[in-house]
Amino acid sequence: MRIYYNSKLKQLETNHEGFAEITQIMNTVRQYSFTKVVFDLANTQTIDGSMASVCAAMSYYLSKSNNSLSIQTKNDNRLPLFYKYDLLGSQVNWGIFLKFRFWNGGTAVRGFTREEYFRFNHYLITEAFDNQWWDISVEMKQNIKRHLRRLFKNASEHCEENTPIFISSSFKDRMLKFTLVDCGPGFYKNIAAKDVQVVNEQQAIMWALEGRSSKNRPGGKLRSLRKFCNYNLGNLLIASGYATVGISEEGEMSFGELVAPFRGSIISFSVYVPRPNLIEIAA
């Protein structure tokens, strides 16, 4: 059987609306098995490249019920999505797809298990920053890598064995964005076991943003990331279960409720990359 889901968004962005559409698709088709799901993007003009990791997680969850996922583009091309290592597998060159289709900037989405920290670190060194992003300072790259390593380690501690962790990126209008998605239990389960006053996903996310940890050691990973984004005029968006919590570049918080839950967690953050000061050298 094959079912089609037509995107209602002109721009599929890494935001509450984008997450809501993905989770609604997953909730709609979870009753099926051995079904080919076609995500029809014919009316969608652009997709944020950092949404690729969220799409990869959707493909993973569908595959657990023996379903498959394809995206259909405005050129009527249907591309199967694979959740292992590269979203498009070996059938499509990712760079060409990004450049000539409609995904806005970014590197290939990658998937890792919790045991693959060294492969993740190799990705950060060799793949995380596209060669065309030459004007991102070394200091900025090092800081981003440090935060991504912390996020990966935190996700790997809470994920079950062989549960994937996905990462993707985008760079547009001087805003560099990374989105890390894990398919673990999400924020609420572990935090509620630590603090009985936490009764829902939104409270669990806020609890973690305050710098606390569900492990018996100092936390602060998300609080540190929040400060880093704020300092660099970026924003932070977290989704888990039914809840989304966003922090704007001005530091203002926003809260949303998804129509269907996301099992696991999505952490997307962006920073503003200033243009380098080029010094003109006289001939």
Residues 270, 126: Cα–Cα separation, whole Å = 20
CB atoms within 10 A of CB 95: 13
User: CB of 261 within 8 A of CB of 23?
Assistant: yes
Q: What is the pLDDT of residue 83?
A: 42
- The better pLDDT of the pair 259, 46 is held by 259
Helix (H) or strand (E) holding 260: strand 253-272
Helix (H) or strand (E) holding 165: strand 165-172
Cα dihedral across residues 151, 157, 158, 162: positive or negative: positive
Relative to beta strand 165-172, strand 103-104 is: unpaired
Share of the chain above pLDDT 70, in %: 82
- Whose tokens are 């964005």? That residue is 177
C-alpha of 208 from chain center: 18
Encoding tokens for residue 42? Answer: 């014919």
CB atoms within 10 A of CB 100: 10
User: CB of 169 within 8 A of CB of 49?
Assistant: yes
**102 pLDDT tier (thresholds 50, 70, 90):** very low
Distances (CA, A) of 77 to 12, 21, 47, 59, 195: 18, 21, 16, 18, 49
Query: Domain extents for the chain?
Result: 2-272
- The better pLDDT of the pair 79, 224 is held by 224
Q: What is the pLDDT of residue 277?
A: 64
Q: Looking at residues 244-255, what average pLDDT do you find?
A: 94
pLDDT tens per residue, range 230-244: 999 999 999 999 999
Q: Looking at residues 242-269, what average pLDDT do you find?
A: 94
Q: For domain 2-272, give the CATH number.
A: 3.30.565.10
User: CB of 57 within 8 A of CB of 25?
Assistant: no
